Chains A and B, each alone.
Chain A
Amino acid sequence: MNIGILLKEGPYNHQASDTAYNFAEAAIRRGHTIDAIFLYNDGVLNVSKLMDPPQDDRNISTRWTAFSEKYGVKIYACVVASKRRSINEDVLIEGGVITGLGTFTDIATRNDRLVTFGD
């Protein structure tokens, strides 16, 4: 089954990033394809490489980069939402792509499922 994920909250402030990540890993373990992760609202903050949490905590943006590299899944961030929140190509992690909502429409329509995580 092909699954798209919509992530609508920023990292750390809310559990949504963590749940989305754990869900995506479990879906892949069960043999499904994660087609893409699309970031909207404060979710776009997930792809900032300026993220620098304390050593004893997870680094959510590098975790997304590792996920992207391991499974070939792009982490898309909505361009309009990104501009509002200081996310641009200069601060973008590997695996992150800034794109328009047309990309999201494709993700929402071409997959068997869309699962949303947010506040």
Chain B
Amino acid sequence: MDSVQDIKIKKIMHVLRHAPHGTIYTYEGLEMILIMATYDQDISVVFIGDGVYSLKKGQETSSIGIKGFARTFSALDGYDVEKLYVDQLSLEERGLTKDDLVVDVEVLSSENIGMLMKEQDVIIQH
């Protein structure tokens, strides 16, 4: 077992840019985030473009026969994933506001998200 000072906590950012349900990328991205969260890394999740639709309130998927997962995003803070960022322009372009989302997120400008990206050790786009 490595001693504490040997373990370098890495900054890992997950970027979700696909709408939910139409493809599996966001759902499997979420599965990956949940597992990585158990490894004590510095994890952040960013929603850009159609990725913001994953967080939309009122998703009811029973009639398409696909398991819904919007609620899992609100459970992320239970896994110590508290850094959830949403791109402001992506929200605005879709006529959405923070109130339309299932979880409390930080809405940031693309410039600020770009600066956060620059600080990361690893970026995984889903």
* A–B interface present (Cβ within 8 A): yes
| A108-B35 in contact (CB<8A) | no
The segment out of A12-20, A47-55, A58-66, A98-106 that lies at the interface is A98-106
| A105-B125 in contact (CB<8A) | no
Min CB distance A103 to B, Å, is 10
| B122-A41 in contact (CB<8A) | no
- Smallest CB gap from A114: residue in B: B122
A7 CB-CB contact with B under 8 Å: no
Interface residues on A, range: 10 to 19
Q: How long is the Cα–Cα vector from A17 to B36 in the complex, in angstroms? A: 24
The A/B interface has a contact count, at CB < 8 Å, of 42
Which residues from B are CB-within-8-Å of A92? none
Chain A's interface: helix, strand, loop or mixed, by majority?
Answer: helix
Which residues from B are CB-within-8-Å of A8? 25, 126
Min CB distance B72 to A, Å, is 15
A109 CB-CB contact with B under 8 Å: yes
Interface residues on B, range: 10 to 19
- Smallest CB gap from B41: residue in A: A109
Q: How long is the Cα–Cα vector from A100 to B125 in the complex, in angstroms? A: 19
A86 CB-CB contact with B under 8 Å: no
Q: How long is the Cα–Cα vector from A80 to B100 in the complex, in angstroms? A: 31
| B28-A108 in contact (CB<8A) | no
Partner of B12, one of A41, A100, A108, A116: A108
A36 CB-CB contact with B under 8 Å: no
| B35-A114 in contact (CB<8A) | no
| B12-A81 in contact (CB<8A) | no
B31 CB-CB contact with A under 8 Å: yes
Which residues from A are CB-within-8-Å of B24? 41
- In the complex, besides A40-B32, A104-B35, A116-B125, 19 extra interface pairs with C-beta distance below 8 angstroms are A8-B126, A80-B28, A81-B28, A101-B32, A101-B36, A102-B39, A105-B35, A105-B36, A105-B41, A108-B10, A108-B122, A109-B8, A109-B10, A109-B12, A109-B39, A109-B41, A109-B122, A114-B124, A116-B124
